[in-house]
Amino acid sequence: MNRIKLNRLLIAIIAFAMLYLVFQPEKIEQPIQVKTKIPDTDYFMEGVLIHKFDASGKQINTLLADRMEHSSLHDISILDKPVITFANSRGGQWKLYSNSGELLNDNTVIRLKEEVSIQEHNIKNAVQTKITTKDLTIDLLNKNALTEEKVLIENKYYRTQSFGLEMLFDQEVILLKNKVSTEIYQ
């Protein structure tokens, strides 16, 4: 077989292969259906980590969550296992944990629900104080948190209970509201 016939044969084979590929029926895959908590979810994210900084570049807080679903219609984001972190002046952190939460008001308010735990960690990340309550509302703009529910504050020196609490993260102040009782350990 001479060279010209071989070239023509190769070109014909390539042409038939290209025709086969071009006219191959297109496979349309069905989109993956994801179960959401909000029926009209616009988007969702998994493994969420959001850092918020002030104008000088200093970190104000961090939001970590296993999952976040957002609905523009309801102006709400549902959070699974959120953790919010605020730095304190002694180099440690306040970490706020919950099983679920909601991000509201154009991402300026977080409402934690179901077994809220607030932990003060020192510079070596050891827990110094633990606060537990049923729910907590955090105002990210004013850097405060409040609840009207029963609150339990524990550390190695004392145990305090109250109904209602307000935390001012900037000033590192905890205000207890009603029926406050304290046990001091020696």
The domain total for the chain is: 1
Distance, CA of 152 to CA of 163 (rounded, Å): 9
pLDDT of residue 1: 59
pTM of this structure = 0.74
Helix (H) and strand (E) counts in the chain: 1, 11
Would residue 8 count as lying in a domain?
no
Domain limits for position 94: 43-184
Backbone angles phi, psi at 173, to 5 degrees: -120, 140
pLDDT of residue 152: 93
Q: Could you list the pLDDT tens digit for every one of the 186 residues in the chain?
A: 577 888 888 888 888 888 777 777 777 788 777 777 777 888 888 999 988 888 888 877 889 999 999 888 878 889 999 999 888 767 778 889 999 999 887 778 999 998 899 888 877 777 788 999 999 999 988 888 999 999 999 988 889 999 999 998 888 888 999 998 888 887
Number of other CB atoms surrounding residue 151 within 10 Å: 24
Would residue 34 count as lying in a domain?
no
Would residue 3 count as lying in a domain?
no
The identity of residue 28, as a single letter, is I
Among candidate residues 45, 94, 41, the one with its CA nearest the CA of residue 66: 45
Would residue 19 count as lying in a domain?
no
Would residue 11 count as lying in a domain?
no
CATH number, position 64: 2.60.450.10
Would residue 18 count as lying in a domain?
no
